[in-house]
């Protein structure tokens, strides 16, 4: 595993620091739980090691989801994987939310 450190900042300002990257797994020596990500994935900023140009920003992401989060002895810590939510899934979630809101306003059980 590389010694380069990464940081993930969630939409509420929570920062997960000193992360190593192994494939698409972020690995932390500190405990990481799925609850740490709940409701905080609307805007995620990922920064990595600063290059020669001083820029360490790897990306700003809107609407991510947690794919995996567990203790992983093979990777030497707590591992988690994030991904961008596909546009199709976002549209389905929005439509579902709109339907549930309308049903609530009209006092209809779904």
- For the chain, 110 residues long, give each residue's pLDDT as a single digit of tens: 446 789 999 999 999 999 998 988 999 999 999 999 999 999 999 988 765 454 566 788 999 999 999 999 999 899 999 999 888 887 888 888 889 999 898 888 87
The answer to the question of residue 94 being in a domain is no
Which residues 6+ apart lie within 8 Å of 10 measured at CB? 16, 36, 37, 40, 41, 43, 44
Report the C-alpha gap between 80 and 6 in whole angstroms: 13
CA distance 69 to 78: 7
64 within domain boundaries: yes
In angstroms, how far is the first alpha carbon of the chain from the final one? 49
Residue 42 lies in a domain: yes
Q: Tell me the residue range of the domain where 21 lies.
A: 6-85
Q: Which two tokens stand for residue 43?
A: 């805007």
- Measure the CA dihedral 57/46/40/97, to 10°: 80
pLDDT of residue 36: 96
40 is a domain residue: yes
Residue 54 confidence (pLDDT): 47
User: What's the total number of domains in the chain?
Assistant: 1
């Amino acid at each position: 595993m590389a010694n380069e450190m990464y940081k993930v900042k969630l939409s509420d300002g929570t920062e997960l620091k000193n992360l190593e990257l192994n494939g698409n797994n972020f690995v932390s020596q500190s405990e990481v739980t799925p609850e740490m990500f709940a409701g905080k994935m609307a805007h995620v900023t990922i920064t990595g090691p600063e290059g020669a140009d001083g820029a360490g920003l790897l990306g700003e992401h809107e609407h991510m989801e947690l794919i995996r989060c567990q203790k992983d002895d093979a990777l030497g810590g707590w591992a988690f994987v994030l991904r961008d939510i596909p546009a199709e899934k976002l549209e389905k979630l929005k439509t579902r939310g709109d339907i549930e809101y309308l049903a609530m306003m009209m006092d209809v059980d779904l």
